[in-house]
């Protein structure tokens, strides 16, 4: 499967201190799921990505907003436009906007002026553990003020990338149902950090709840551990369970590089993803690694055709 065309559906670029990413200049917050991230406080640019991705046929990438200074949310998109002009990466991108902010419509319009922007990610308010999950909190997906901003995504033709722990996926399902024309892509496999039997059972139940909404897709990524390890056998089961729930037509693989580089090498990561689905039909593997991302993020072409080949990055 070395020639399998891959769209990396979630990666980041930054260039501290030239780019304003406040989180890369402070001590790690206590809730960062990978613990110490000092190794990330360095430039990560297209040349670095290409070096990491060597050995796999990466034909396109989706750049995910990387917590740029919120004083100028469209600034990250302007910076990415310069990178694309010079280096050909990223292929498309997801910007950031605060849905509860009074000026959110202007921010969304600013992102939408760039033809490579496909959607928005904002991390809604979330509880630190399942026991603390409550519906209706300020800044959550239930918050009417937050939803007023979210409702503007459809006007601008934008999708929503959702990063939230699995214990909030019931709220995500209700959001998807209320706004059926706005695609939602759940990030990082719903963050199944608790690998106990009970923890995984609850994660699967919430994934099943979200999967009942046809406009929800799942991004399989972010499966490293706080110990900076990549538990291959455990991750195999998580990946297979996720695909069984969402189906091969609504899942996609992604690196989350360079963040997941704290836990696993890029080549090993995608080698393992390929092993995990080696028993799937070729058309299903093509969907998981390329076609679903091409369709949902509107990049590349179906089944690795000419447009994807011309945008090869690795």
Is residue 129 a part of any domain in this protein? yes
Overall number of domains in the chain: 1
Is residue 101 a part of any domain in this protein? yes
Q: Which residues contact 82 (CB under 8 A, 6 or more apart)?
A: none
Range of the structural domain that residue 274 is part of: 6-310
SS3 (DSSP) at 99: coil
Residue 188 CA to residue 194 CA, distance in Å, equals 14
Average confidence (pLDDT) over 46-53: 98
pLDDT in tens, 228-268: 999 999 999 999 999 999 999 999 999 999 999 999 999 99
Average confidence (pLDDT) over 58-85: 97
Q: Which of these, 200, 145, 136, 204, lies nearest to 174 by C-alpha position?
A: 136
Average confidence (pLDDT) over 89-103: 98
Q: What is the largest CA-CA distance in the chain?
A: 50
Q: 210 pLDDT exceeds 70?
A: yes
Give residue 79's pLDDT: 98
pTM for the model stands at 0.94
Is residue 1 a part of any domain in this protein? no
Give residue 35's pLDDT: 86
Residue 310 CA to residue 60 CA, distance in Å, equals 9
Give residue 306's pLDDT: 29
Average confidence (pLDDT) over 48-72: 97
Phi then psi for residue 58, to 5 deg, are -80, 115
SS3 (DSSP) at 113: coil
Mean pLDDT of the chain: 94
Is residue 206 a part of any domain in this protein? yes
Q: 25 pLDDT exceeds 90?
A: no
Is residue 16 a part of any domain in this protein? yes
CATH number of the domain that residue 48 is part of: 3.20.20.140
Going by pLDDT thresholds of 50, 70 and 90, the confidence category of residue 302 is: very low
Is residue 189 a part of any domain in this protein? yes
Q: 122 pLDDT exceeds 90?
A: yes
Is residue 103 a part of any domain in this protein? yes
Q: 120 pLDDT exceeds 80?
A: yes
* Residue bearing tokens 């260039």: 15
Give the up-direction half-sphere exposure of residue 127: CA atoms within 13 A in the CB hemisphere.
Answer: 14
Is residue 121 a part of any domain in this protein? yes
Residue 297 DSSP class: T
pLDDT in tens, 178-190: 999 999 999 999 9
Going by pLDDT thresholds of 50, 70 and 90, the confidence category of residue 29 is: low
């Amino acid at each position: 499967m070395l020639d399998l065309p891959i769209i990396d559906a979630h990666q980041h670029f930054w260039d501290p201190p030239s780019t304003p990413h406040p989180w890369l200049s402070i001590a790690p917050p206590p809730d960062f799921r990978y613990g110490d991230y000092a190794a990330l406080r360095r430039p990560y640019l297209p040349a670095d990505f290409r070096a990491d991705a060597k050995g796999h046929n990466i034909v396109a990438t989706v750049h995910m907003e990387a917590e740029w200074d919120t004083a100028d949310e469209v600034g990250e998109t302007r910076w990415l436009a310069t990178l694309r002009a010079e280096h050909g990466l990223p292929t498309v991108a997801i910007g950031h906007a605060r849905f509860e902010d009074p000026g959110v419509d202007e921010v969304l319009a600013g992102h939408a002026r760039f033809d490579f922007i496909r959607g928005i990610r904002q991390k809604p308010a979330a509880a630190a553990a399942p026991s603390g999950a409550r519906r209706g909190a300020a800044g959550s997906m239930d918050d009417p003020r937050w939803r007023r901003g979210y409702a503007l995504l459809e006007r601008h033709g934008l999708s929503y990338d959702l990063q939230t722990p699995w214990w909030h996926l019931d709220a995500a399902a209700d959001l998807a149902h209320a706004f059926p024309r706005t695609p939602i892509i759940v990030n990082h496999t719903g963050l199944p950090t608790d690998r106990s039997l009970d923890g995984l059972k609850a994660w699967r139940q919430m994934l099943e709840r979200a999967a009942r909404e046809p406009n929800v897709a799942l991004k399989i990524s972010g499966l490293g551990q706080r110990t900076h390890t990549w538990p291959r056998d455990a991750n195999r089961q998580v990946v297979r369970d996720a695909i069984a729930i969402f189906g091969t037509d609504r899942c996609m693989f992604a690196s989350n590089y360079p963040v997941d580089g704290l836990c696993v090498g890029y080549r090993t990561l995608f080698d393992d993803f390929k092993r995990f689905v080696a028993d799937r039909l070729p058309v299903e593997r093509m969907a998981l690694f390329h076609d679903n991302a091409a369709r949902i993020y509107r990049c590349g072409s179906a089944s690795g055709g000419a447009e994807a080949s011309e945008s090869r990055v690795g």
